[in-house]
Amino acid sequence: MSLTLTLRLCPPGVPLKGEPLKTVEGLTAALVARPGALRVDVATTAATTAEARWLVRQLVDALRAAFPVGALGLRCARGASRALARALTLDLASLHGALRPPPERPAPALPDDLAALAALEASYRAWVDEDAATRTSLKIAEDVLAYAAATEGVEAQVLDADALAALGMNLLLAVGGASEASPPRLIVATYGDPSPDAPPLMLVGKGITFDSGGVNVKPYEGFVSMMRNDMGGAALAWHLFRGLVAADFPAPLVVVLPACENLIDARAVRPGSVIKSHRGLTVRVDHTDAEGRLILADALSWASAKYGPSEVVTFATLTTAALNAYGPFATPVHFAPPALERALARAAEEEGEDLHFFPYRAWHHEANRDHTAQLKNTARLNGNASAGAGSRNAAHFLRFFTDSPLTHLDIFASTWDWSGQAPAGTRHGATGAPLRTLLRALMAYELGR
Domain count, the chain: 2
Shared-domain flag, residues 15 and 155: no
**Residue 98's pLDDT is what?**
43
Query: Do both 199 and 159 map to the same domain?
Result: yes
CA–CA gap between residue 177 and residue 174 (Å, rounded)? 5
Catalytic residue among 57, 135, 185, 218: 218
Q: Indicate whether 11 and 60 sit together in one domain.
A: yes
C-beta of residue 68 within 8 angstroms of C-beta of residue 3? yes
One domain for residues 181 and 150 = yes
- Nearest residue to 400 via CA among 291, 319, 300: 300
pLDDT digits (tens, 9 = 90+) for 134-187: 999 999 999 999 999 999 999 999 999 999 999 999 999 999 999 999 999 999
**Per residue in 299-358, pLDDT tens?**
999 999 999 999 999 999 999 999 988 989 999 999 999 999 999 999 999 999 999 999
- Cβ 188 vs Cβ 210: under 8 Å: no
Question: In this structure, are 35 and 171 located in the same domain?
Answer: no
Residue 104 belongs to a domain: no
Q: Which of 63, 98, 133 is the last residue of a domain?
A: 98
For residue 101, what pLDDT is reported?
43
Answering whether pTM is above 0.75, one says: yes
Q: pLDDT for 273-297, tens place per residue?
A: 999 999 999 999 999 999 999 999 9
- Is residue 376 flagged as an active site residue? no
Q: Does residue 142 belong to any structural domain of this protein? A: yes
Considering all CA atoms of the chain, what is the largest pairwise distance in Å, rounded to the nearest integer? 73
Nearest to 203 by CA among 448, 441, 449, 447: 441
Q: Is 218 among the catalytic positions?
A: yes
So what's the pLDDT on residue 268?
96
Q: Does residue 113 belong to any structural domain of this protein?
A: no
Read off the pLDDT band of 448 (50, 70, 90).
confident
Q: Residue 213: pLDDT above 90? A: yes
Question: Coil, helix or strand for 344?
Answer: helix
Q: Could you tell me if 249 and 321 lie in one domain?
A: yes
Identify which of 313, 309, 312 has the alpha carbon closest to the alpha carbon of residue 195: 309
Strand partners, 274: 284
Within a domain: 175? yes
- Which band of pLDDT confidence, cut at 50, 70 and 90, is reported for residue 366? very high
The parent domain of residue 418 ranges over: 118-447
Res 368 pLDDT > 90: yes
220/82 same-domain check:
no
Q: What is the average per-residue pLDDT within 187-195? A: 96
For residue 2, what pLDDT band results from cuts at 50, 70 and 90?
Answer: confident
The answer as to whether 245 is a domain residue is yes
- H-type alpha helices, 41-136: 49-66, 82-96, 112-129
Residue of 176, 202, 397, 200 whose CA lies nearest to 265? 176
Catalytic residue among 8, 284, 293, 376: 293
Residue 225 lies in a domain: yes
Q: Give yes or no for a contact between 6 and 38, defined as CB atoms under 8 angstroms apart.
A: yes
Give 106-130 pLDDT, tens digit per residue. 444 556 788 899 999 999 999 999 9
